[in-house]
Chain A
Amino acid sequence: MNTRIETFRRDGDHCDDPDHDHSGGRCSLVVQMITEYLEGALPDDKRERFERHLAACPPCVRFFDQLRAVSAIAPLLRCADVPPAVEERVLRFLQDKTA
């Protein structure tokens, strides 16, 4: 995870990206690229442009943080315990099927 983003401003409602009129600086495109960024799939030029935009756009940083929170919670999702008799039932099933 790129810790540089942790230092970006999160307060405020305005995008101050001076290149906003150019396609690479649009909030709408940056939002679509968040997962590509988090997965390390952006080429260097797009990654740098992405980070420049976040440095100037608190709303995008907040949205970015919220998507990251989803990922942080995911490993905590619980799973039911395996019923104790499953293994023996499966072995009996396979014994019958493969005899």
Chain B
Amino acid sequence: MSTHGRFSTDTPEGQATLVAALKMRDREAFVALVRAYTGWVWQLAFRILKDEQHAEEVVQTVFLAAWEKIDDLNAQGVGLTSWIRRVAVNAALMRLRSASRRREDLVESPGDLLPAFTDDGHWAESVPEWSRPAEELIGAREVIEAVEAAVEELPEGERAVFILREVEHLSTKEVADSLGLQEGAVRTRLHRARLFLRKRLADVVDGGARDGNDVRASVDEGEGSATRRPGRVTVGEVQP
């Protein structure tokens, strides 16, 4: 991360020195911790919460926990960065769960995310080649914006896994440790997130018209409406 005063968080040795000082209730160490990790924690929380104020509250929660519970650190057998990440992710998820998201918005079952197959396991409809090659899509602004919007639609479980694995580049094991999950459950959530985002991407690339592998949509305009409104489709709770 960086060096602040007599403390460095760039190496395991530097982190160990910092942790030892924190356990001695060294104020300078605490300030160094805050200066080293605030930006990283804030951005991690913001990616999950998409709210600046809530992200800042997560930062406060993390460092208050660091001050009050630093003695637990070695007992948990994880390093300082992993410990902070775990506290941050849990704080962000707790805040997300208490936000105004309505349960009735989560209407799609896990099976709805899978494409349609015939009884003997063949594709029920074609898988169209996207109209633009992948390398062209990857840098396109509208594509990035569409995926960002779709990530916000993911339930908290899938969203956290997707961000930690695909954006923060943690290993599957690190994601599992951060979220208190089995690695298999992480892969299940990651697969569901990828399926959902692929569908959203298809909507942008080809307008969704040729994509027969549709994700069933829920629309907030009342029952029976056939109008599809991107941004209002959500996926169901995860079954780890």
Q: Residues of A at under 8 Å CB distance from B?
A: 10-11, 13, 15, 20-21, 26-29, 31-32, 34-36, 39, 41, 59-60, 62-63, 65-80, 82-83, 86-87, 89-91, 93-94, 97-98
Contacts and interface: CB of A to CB of B under 8 A. Distances in A.
A35 B198 CA distance: 13
Interface of B: 30-31, 34-35, 38-39, 42-43, 46-47, 52, 56, 59-60, 63-64, 67, 114-115, 117, 120-123, 126-130, 134, 137-139, 143-144, 147-148, 151, 162, 166-167, 169, 172, 183, 187, 190-191, 194-195, 197-198, 201-202, 213
Contacts of B34: 87, 90-91, 94
A32 B150 CA distance: 21
Most chain A beta-carbon neighbours within 10 Å: one of B38, B117, B121, B151? B121
Contacts of A86: 38-39, 42, 56, 59
11 contacts: A13-B127, A28-B114, A32-B114, A35-B187, A62-B127, A74-B162, A80-B43, A83-B52, A86-B39, A89-B56, A97-B64
Most chain B beta-carbon neighbours within 10 Å: one of A36, A68, A86? A86
Nearest to B202: A66
A39 B194 contact: no
Contacts of B194: 34-35, 67, 70-71
Given A71-B194, A76-B139, A15 B63 contact: no
A79 B60 contact: no
Contacts of A82: 38-39, 42-43
B120 A20 contact: yes
The 5 A-B residue pairs with the shortest CB-CB distance, nearest first, are: A26-B121, A74-B166, A35-B191, A28-B117, A28-B121
A87 to B, nearest CB: 5
A75 B44 CA distance: 13
Contacts, number: 147
Contacts of A11: 129
A29 B117 CA distance: 10
**A contact patch SS:** helix
Contact of B122 (A15, A72, A73): A15
Contacts of B52: 80, 83
B82 to A, nearest CB: 20
B123 A35 contact: no
B201 A77 contact: no
Contacts of B43: 79-80, 82
B197 A90 contact: no
Given A28-B114, A91-B34, 7 more contacts: A13-B126, A32-B191, A36-B187, A73-B137, A75-B167, A86-B59, A90-B60
Contacts of A77: 47, 144, 147-148, 151, 167
B139 to A, nearest CB: 7
Contacts of A39: 172, 187, 190
B121 A29 contact: yes
